[in-house]
C-alpha cells in the first residue's frame, strides 16, 4: 500500500505555480516625471508583456482595471504593467499632456524601459498596449513613433477599449504603420460608430462589441466575458 501511494504521488502532475503578487513600482520618463504602476510579473522566463493605460486622467487612474482582469492576463502567461498615466493617481505631470500633444507616448516608452530593467527575462519582442477610452491615444501615438524611430520596440498588438475620435487626436490611424498590426476594437453597441468606421483598415484588425456595455474599462462590469475576449485576442496575437 505504501509503495502504491508513493507511486501515485510521484506520477501526479505538479501543481501550477501561482504568479508572483503585484507590486507598486515607480519609473522615470524622459522628460523628468516619475510615474507609478502596478507590476504583475508572470513569474516565468520569456513571458510576453501587456501594458495597460486607463481612461482619461486625472478623473481616472490605474484602478480602472479590475484585479480580475490583471489576474486573467497573468494566468494566461502574461506579465502586466498597469500604469498611472501622467497627471493621474500616483504619477506626476499635467493630465492633459497624457492625451494632447507629444508627451503621452513618453509614458508608454517609460513603461517599456522599466520592464526591460525590472523584468529582464520577459520577452519585450512580444508585448501589447491596451488602452481604454483616450488611453488608446497614447497606444497609437507610441506605436507610430516607434515604427518610425525604434522599429524593434513597436508593440506586437493593440487593444482599443472604446476607441473614438479622441484616439486620433494627434495622429491618424487609417493607412498608418498600425495597419500592419493586430488590433482589437472592443466597444459597446451604443458607442460603435468610430470603431465600425475602421472595419477595413488592417488585415489583422478584429472587432468585438457587447450589449449592454459600459465605456472603456467599465465594459468589464456588465460584460465579464469582455475580459476573456481581450485575453484570448492577446494570446492569439502576441504569444
Q: What is the pLDDT of residue 9?
A: 42
Does residue 42 form part of some domain?
yes
Among residues 104, 101, 109, the alpha carbon closest in space to that of 136 is found at 104
Cα–Cα distance for residue pair 202/220, rounded to 1 Å:
26
Does residue 186 form part of some domain?
yes
CA distances from 10 to 2, 4, 13, 16, 161 (A): 12, 10, 8, 15, 46
Does residue 1 form part of some domain?
no
Does residue 143 form part of some domain?
yes
Query: Which cell goes with 53?
Result: 493605460
Q: Is the pLDDT of residue 14 over 70?
A: no
Average pLDDT score over the chain: 92
Tell me the CATH number at 106.
Answer: 3.40.50.1820
For residues 54 and 65, the answer to whether their CB atoms sit within 8 Å is yes
Parent domain of 31: 27-238
pLDDT, one tens digit per residue, over 122-157 is 999 999 999 999 999 999 999 999 999 999 999 999
Percent of the chain at pLDDT > 70 equals 92
Does residue 73 form part of some domain?
yes
Cα–Cα distance for residue pair 184/158, rounded to 1 Å:
6
Torsion of CA 167, 227, 70, 79, to 10 degrees: -80
161 beta partners: 132, 186
Confidence of residue 15 (pLDDT cuts 50, 70, 90): very low
Does residue 187 form part of some domain?
yes
pTM for the whole thing?
0.91
Radius of gyration of the chain from Cα atoms?
A: 19
pLDDT, one tens digit per residue, over 193-221 is 999 999 988 889 999 999 878 999 999 98
Does residue 127 form part of some domain?
yes
Confidence of residue 11 (pLDDT cuts 50, 70, 90): low
Does residue 154 form part of some domain?
yes
Q: Where are the alpha helices (DSSP H) in the chain?
A: 2-11, 67-75, 104-118, 135-149, 193-196, 225-238
Q: What is the pLDDT of residue 60?
A: 98
Percent of the chain at pLDDT > 90 equals 84
Q: Is the pLDDT of residue 62 over 50?
A: yes
Torsion of CA 29, 31, 32, 36, to 10 degrees: -30
What 8-state DSSP symbol labels residue 76?
Answer: T
Q: Where are the alpha helices (DSSP H) in 96-186?
A: 104-118, 135-149
Query: Which cell goes with 120?
Result: 529582464
Q: What is the pLDDT of residue 10?
A: 47
Among residues 66, 155, 173, the alpha carbon closest in space to that of 111 is found at 155
Report how many domains make up the chain: 1
Q: Where are the alpha helices (DSSP H) in 39-192?
A: 67-75, 104-118, 135-149
Cα–Cα distance for residue pair 222/205, rounded to 1 Å:
24
Query: Which cell goes with 219?
Result: 465594459
Amino acid at each position: 500500500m505504501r509503495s502504491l501511494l508513493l507511486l501515485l504521488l510521484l506520477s501526479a502532475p505538479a501543481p501550477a505555480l501561482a504568479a508572483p503578487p503585484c507590486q507598486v513600482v515607480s519609473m522615470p520618463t524622459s522628460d523628468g516625471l516619475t510615474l507609478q504602476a502596478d507590476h504583475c510579473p508572470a513569474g516565468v522566463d520569456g513571458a510576453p508583456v501587456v501594458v495597460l493605460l486607463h481612461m482619461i486622467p486625472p478623473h481616472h487612474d490605474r484602478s480602472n482595471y479590475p484585479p480580475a482582469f490583471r489576474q486573467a492576463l497573468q494566468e494566461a502567461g502574461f506579465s502586466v504593467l498597469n500604469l498611472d498615466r501622467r497627471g493621474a493617481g500616483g504619477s506626476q505631470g499635467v493630465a492633459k499632456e497624457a492625451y494632447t500633444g507629444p508627451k503621452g507616448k513618453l509614458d508608454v516608452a517609460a513603461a517599456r524601459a522599466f520592464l526591460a530593467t525590472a523584468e529582464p527575462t520577459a520577452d519585450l519582442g512580444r508585448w501589447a498596449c491596451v488602452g481604454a477610452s483616450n488611453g488608446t491615444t497614447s497606444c497609437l501615438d507610441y506605436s507610430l513613433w516607434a515604427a518610425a524611430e525604434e522599429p524593434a520596440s513597436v508593440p506586437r498588438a493593440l487593444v482599443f477599449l472604446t476607441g473614438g475620435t479622441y484616439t486620433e487626436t494627434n495622429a491618424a490611424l487609417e493607412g498608418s504603420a498600425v495597419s500592419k498590426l493586430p488590433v482589437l476594437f472592443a466597444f459597446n453597441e451604443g458607442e460603435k460608430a468610430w470603431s465600425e468606421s475602421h472595419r477595413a483598415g488592417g488585415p489583422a484588425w478584429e472587432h468585438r462589441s457587447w450589449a449592454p456595455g459600459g465605456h472603456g474599462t467599465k465594459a468589464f462590469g456588465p460584460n465579464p466575458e469582455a475580459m476573456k475576449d481581450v485575453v484570448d485576442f492577446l494570446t492569439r496575437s502576441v504569444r
